[in-house]
C-alpha cells in the first residue's frame, strides 16, 4: 500500500473515523505489538474523545513476549484495557470479544437495569496501515458478513460482521497515519516492515537495526552474527557479516548493500528472534 501523508488525507481519515464513531459502542485500536507506541497515532484521543476503546496489540507472535506483558500492564495502568493477539490464529481472537465485554460491562449493566435487552456490542477497528486490520476483519468474518441496510443510521452499503452473538464489527476499518515527524519512529516502522515504502535507504535502516540490537538485544547479535558489540566505524561490522555470509562482489570485495539487505531481512523474518522495538522502560 502506498501511503501519502498530505493534510488532505489526514482530514479525510479523521472525517471517516468520526462519521463511523456514531455507529459503534467501542473502538478497537489496533497496534503492532512490536511497536506499541510508534504504531499509534496520538491524535486518536482527540478524534474519539470519550468513546470506549480497547487496545489490541496485534502480531504478538512476532514481538518479545516479556515486553508485550509489560506494555499491557503499562496501558492498563493508564486506564486502557489492552489485549495481545495474533490475527493469523482465529482461536486467539476470542479474547477480543471477551475484552470488549469487560470494557463495556458497566454500560451494559446500566442498560440491563433500565430494562433494556442486551444486544451485540458494535465495534470498529482503527489503526495505521499494515497493523493487520484487514487480516483481523477477515479472520473474524469467516462467513458471517451480514448486509444490514435496515439498522437505523446505517447506509445500505455498510456491512457488519457478526462475531458470535456478542459482537458486530464494522467491515471498513478506519485508517490512521503514523507520526512520521520523529525520525526514530520512522526508522522503527521501516525496519520492522510495518511501513513498506522506502522512507529510509537500506544502509541507514541496517545501521539503525544494528545499533538498536546492540543496545537492547546484544545476545541476539552475538548468536546470529558472532559479534561482541559493533565496531567503530561500523564498516568493520559490515565486513565481518559479509565475510561470515560470504556476501562478496565478483572481484571479492564485500557487497555492502547486500549485507544491509540481509540484516534488515533477518530482522523482519525473525531470524534475530522475536523483537520489540519500543521498550516500555523508555516511556515510563
**201 annotated among ligand-binding-site residues:** no
CA distance 138 to 129: 16
**257 annotated among ligand-binding-site residues:** no
Residue 192 phi/psi, 5-degree rounding, is: -85, -10
Helix 256-268 / helix 183-191 crossing angle, nearest 10 deg:
80
| 129: contact with ligand G4P by CB under 6 A | yes
* Pair 73, 27: CB distance under 8 Å: no
**132 annotated among ligand-binding-site residues:** yes
**150 annotated among ligand-binding-site residues:** no
Helix (H) or strand (E) run with residue 29 in it: strand 26-32
Nearest to 84 by CA among 52, 130, 132, 50: 132
When the beta carbons of 41 and 237 are compared against ligand G4P, the nearer one is 41
**130 annotated among ligand-binding-site residues:** yes
Q: Write down the least CB distance from residue 140 to ligand G4P, Å.
A: 12
Among 67, 130, 260, 276, binds ligand G4P (CB under 6 A): 130
Site string for ligand G4P, 161-200 (x = CB under 6 A): --------------------------------x-------
When the beta carbons of 3 and 21 are compared against ligand G4P, the nearer one is 3
When the beta carbons of 61 and 203 are compared against ligand G4P, the nearer one is 61
Which residues 80-99 are close enough to bind ligand G4P by CB under 6 A?
86-88
* Pair 40, 15: CB distance under 8 Å: no
Residue 166 phi/psi, 5-degree rounding, is: -90, -20
| 134: contact with ligand G4P by CB under 6 A | yes
| 126: contact with ligand G4P by CB under 6 A | no
**60 annotated among ligand-binding-site residues:** yes
Residues 6+ apart with CB under 8 A from 26: 51, 52, 53, 54, 100, 103, 104, 121, 122, 123
When the beta carbons of 34 and 53 are compared against ligand G4P, the nearer one is 34
What three-state secondary structure class fits 153? coil
The residue at minimum Cβ distance from ligand G4P is 132
Which residues 21-60 are close enough to bind ligand G4P by CB under 6 A?
58-59
Q: C-alpha cell of 266? A: 533477518
What three-state secondary structure class fits 58? strand
Site string for ligand G4P, 210-249 (x = CB under 6 A): ----------------------------------------
Q: Write down the least CB distance from residue 164 to ligand G4P, Å.
A: 20
Chain CA centroid to CA 263, Å: 22
CA angle (208 as vertex; 275, 238 as ends), nearest 5: 105
**250 annotated among ligand-binding-site residues:** no
Count of chain residues binding ligand G4P (CB under 6 A): 16
Question: What residues make contact with ligand G4P under the rule CB under 6 A?
Answer: 58-59, 61-62, 86-88, 127, 129-135, 193
User: Annotated binding residues for GTP, as ranges?
Assistant: 58-61, 86-87, 130-135, 174
Amino acid at each position: 500500500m502506498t501511503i501519502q501523508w498530505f493534510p488532505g488525507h489526514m482530514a479525510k481519515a479523521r472525517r471517516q473515523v468520526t462519521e463511523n464513531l456514531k455507529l459503534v459502542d467501542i473502538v478497537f485500536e489496533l497496534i503492532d505489538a512490536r511497536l506499541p507506541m510508534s504504531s499509534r497515532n496520538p491524535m486518536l484521543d482527540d478524534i474519539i474523545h470519550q468513546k470506549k476503546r480497547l487496545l489490541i496489540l496485534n502480531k504478538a507472535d512476532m514481538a518479545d513476549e516479556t515486553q508485550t506483558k509489560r506494555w499491557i500492564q503499562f496501558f492498563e495502568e493508564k486506564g486502557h484495557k489492552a489485549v495481545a493477539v495474533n490475527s493469523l490464529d482465529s482461536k486467539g481472537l476470542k479474547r477480543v470479544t471477551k475484552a470488549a465485554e469487560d470494557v463495556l460491562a458497566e454500560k451494559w449493566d446500566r442498560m440491563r437495569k433500565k430494562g433494556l435487552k442486551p444486544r451485540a456490542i458494535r465495534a470498529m477497528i482503527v489503526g495505521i496501515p499494515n497493523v493487520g486490520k484487514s487480516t483481523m476483519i477477515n479472520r473474524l468474518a469467516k462467513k458471517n458478513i451480514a448486509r444490514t441496510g435496515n439498522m437505523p443510521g446505517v447506509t445500505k452499503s455498510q456491512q457488519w460482521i457478526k462475531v458470535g452473538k456478542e459482537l458486530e464489527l464494522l467491515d471498513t476499518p478506519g485508517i490512521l497515519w503514523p507520526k512520521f515527524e520523529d525520525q526514530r519512529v520512522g526508522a522503527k516502522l521501516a525496519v520492522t516492515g510495518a511501513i513498506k515504502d522506502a522512507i529510509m535507504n537500506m544502509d541507514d535502516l541496517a545501521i539503525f537495526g544494528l545499533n538498536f540490537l546492540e543496545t537492547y538485544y546484544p545476545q541476539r547479535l552475538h548468536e546470529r552474527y558472532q559479534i561482541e558489540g559493533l565496531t567503530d566505524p561500523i564498516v568493520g561490522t559490515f565486513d565481518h557479516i559479509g565475510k561470515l555470509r560470504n556476501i562478496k562482489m565478483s572481484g571479492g570485495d564485500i557487497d555492502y548493500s547486500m549485507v544491509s539487505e540481509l540484516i534488515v531481512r533477518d530482522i523482519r523474518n525473525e531470524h534475530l528472534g522475536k523483537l520489540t522495538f519500543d521498550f516500555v522502560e523508555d516511556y515510563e
